[in-house]
Every structure is written in C-alpha cells, then in structure tokens.
C-alpha cells in the first residue's frame, strides 16, 4: 500500500461482502474480487461475472453516486459506445459512511497505446464520443461546479494554483511561454449554451476491445457547462496524426482549444510540482512531456 491509498483505508472485499449481504441478499452468494486496474476516487470490486461494486473513497466523491445514478441511463441512448449500466444504489452501512453503487460489468481494457489498432481512428472515435455527449439533452443537468471539481466551468477557478506552480517551477519549464498560454486560456471566455461534458476523458476511462474504442467509464466529474475540458486528451495522449484527427473530428472553435490548453497546462504543472516535491521521477517526466506538448501547440 502506498501513501496515496490512505484515503481508501477500510474499503476491502470483506466490507463489500457485508454491504451486499445486508442490502442486496439476492447477490450474497456471488464472489467479490478487486478489479485489476482501480481508480483513486472510488474503489471498484467485481461482483460475480456480470456486475461491479463501486465505493467512493472520500466525501468529495460522493455526489457522483447520485449524479451517475440519475443521468447515465438517460445519456446512454445518445452515445456511440457503452457506458456503465446502473444496477442498484447502496446506502451507508457496515461502518462505511457513504452511498455506493452496483454497475454492470463492461468487457475491455484501458486504452494503452499497445492495445489500439489505429491511433488516428481511435482519436476520431473519442472525438465522436465527445461530440455525441454534447448533443445529449442538457435540460436540468448538473451545472459545472464543486461536484465536477469545476470541470466545465472557467479554468480561472484554478488561477491562483496555476500561478503558484509557475512561480515554483522556474528553471523546470518555460514559465514565460506557459504563462502566456494560461493568459490566453483565461481570455478565451466561454459564452455558449451549457452542454454535457465528461470531465475526465483519459486513457484510464476509455476501454478498448479488439483494438477499438468500445466504452467510456467514470462519469463522476461530468456535468453541463463548457466542454473544453474534454479536449485535454489532445495533448495528454494524442500526437501527430492522432492529434490532428482528434482536433478535426472534435470541431471546436479556437476559444475552446485555448481553454483546453489551459486545463491541460494547469494539471500538468500541478502534477509536476508535486512530483518534484515527492521525488517521483516517472510522474515528473510525464508531466514535463505534457507541458512540452501544450507549449508546442
């Protein structure tokens, strides 16, 4: 267990079995096993062959349970790939203080490059998912805010944090160019009608099977607002032809791309600052790579 697991203490297969037995006894005979690739916001366990149990690790992630429970069934019909099927919602119990959920199991693997047949086709498919999500009816949807960690709002929410990181990273990155990119992001104010955004379009939330995109998971930071945050993958994962294909298929205006650069830069600078402080060389190298991609355009 690493220090990053501290917020997840007390969540284990035994707890999941007790929760299931108490609240959904019809499934109490099914095996409970940890998934191979887990997240930070939630712990996920496989329940039998066809379901998963998903438990928030801290209070800040709890709003996603009700949000996904209400909205994922409505969004699913308008999307070109699978999204998690909501099976049931659990309540606090057995010493666990938060609501939790039971989902349908989706076959597939996270989108590592070696698992993708054609990166340009994959990038276009991701862009088509983003566009399809934006076309979903946003009436009554949860407006961007604390529940989405301010994805879908203005990147200005993280202005102070970004400027602090820039002040700390002198000599580590080209802070002059980075500051100019950040200023451009703040200046490109979003003035459109609110649309649905996912909030965390990243390899770990994209599932592939037979080399192709088949599902998108983890809508915990989703909401309605400015969709620029969903374009960040252009620099975090894509490059060259795949970035070009994504940008063309995503079809957003110049202001959206400026704000998207701001979102990518903010997160990369924050990760780099923390990685340098902790001595995590691999994480620092990846954050520097993203900063470089953003500054290069």
Q: What is the pLDDT of residues 23-57, one digit of tens each?
A: 999 999 999 999 887 777 899 999 999 999 999 99
Q: Name the nearest CA neighbour of 16 among 105, 106, 86, 102.
A: 102
What topology is assigned to 3-105 in CATH? Answer: Phosphorylase Kinase; domain 1 (3.30.200)
Hey, what's the torsion of the CAs at 172, 176, 179, 181, to 10 degrees? -100
pLDDT band at 255 (very low <50, low <70, confident <90, very high): very high
DSSP 3-state of 57: coil
- Look at residue 186 and tell me whether its pLDDT is greater than 60: yes
For domain 110-296, give the CATH number: 3.90.1200.10
Instruction: Report pLDDT for 222.
Output: 98
Tell me the angle at which helices 281-296 and 175-187 cross, rounded to the nearest 10 degrees.
60
Instruction: Report pLDDT for 5.
Output: 36
pLDDT band at 297 (very low <50, low <70, confident <90, very high): confident
Beta bridge partners of residue 46, listed in sequence order: 33, 52
Same fold, 3-105 and 110-296: no
Contact 123, 250 (CB under 8 A): no
Domain extents for the chain?
3-105, 110-296
Over residues 42-101, the pLDDT tens digits come to 999 999 999 999 999 999 999 999 999 999 999 999 999 999 999 999 999 999 999 999
Over residues 103-159, the pLDDT tens digits come to 999 999 999 989 999 999 999 999 999 999 999 999 999 999 999 999 999 999 999
Section 187-214 average pLDDT? 96
- Look at residue 251 and tell me whether its pLDDT is greater than 50: yes
């Amino acid at each position: 267990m690493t220090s990053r697991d501290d917020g997840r203490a007390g969540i284990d297969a035994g707890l999941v079995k007790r929760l299931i037995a108490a609240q959904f006894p019809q499934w109490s005979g099914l095996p409970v096993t940890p998934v191979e690739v887990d997240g930070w916001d939630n712990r996920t366990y496989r329940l039998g062959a066809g379901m998963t149990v998903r438990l928030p690790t801290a209070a800040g992630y709890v709003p996603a349970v009700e949000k996904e429970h209400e909205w994922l069934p409505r969004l699913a019909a308008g999307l070109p790939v699978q999204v998690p099927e909501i099976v049931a919602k659990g309540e606090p119990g057995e010493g666990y203080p938060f609501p939790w959920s039971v989902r349908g199991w989706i076959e597939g693997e996270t989108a590592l490059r070696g698992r993708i047949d054609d990166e340009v086709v994959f990038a276009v498919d991701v862009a088509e998912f983003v566009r399809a999500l934006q076309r979903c009816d946003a009436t009554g949807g949860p407006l961007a805010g604390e529940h989405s960690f301010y994805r879908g709002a203005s990147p200005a929410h993280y202005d102070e944090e970004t400027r602090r990181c820039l002040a700390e990273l002198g000599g580590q990155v080209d802070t002059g160019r980075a500051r100019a990119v950040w200023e451009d992001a703040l200046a490109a104010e979003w003035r459109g009608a609110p649309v649905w955004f996912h909030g965390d379009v990243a390899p770990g939330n994209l599932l592939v099977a037979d080399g192709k995109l088949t599902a998108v998971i983890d809508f915990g930071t989703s909401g309605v607002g400015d969709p620029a945050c969903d374009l960040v993958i252009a620099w975090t994962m894509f490059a060259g032809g795949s970035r070009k294909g994504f940008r063309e298929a995503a079809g957003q205006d110049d202001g959206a791309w400026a704000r998207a650069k701001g979102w990518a830069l903010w997160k990369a600078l924050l990760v780099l600052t923390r990685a340098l402080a902790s001595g995590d060389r691999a994480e620092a190298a990846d954050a520097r790579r993203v900063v470089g991609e953003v500054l290069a355009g």
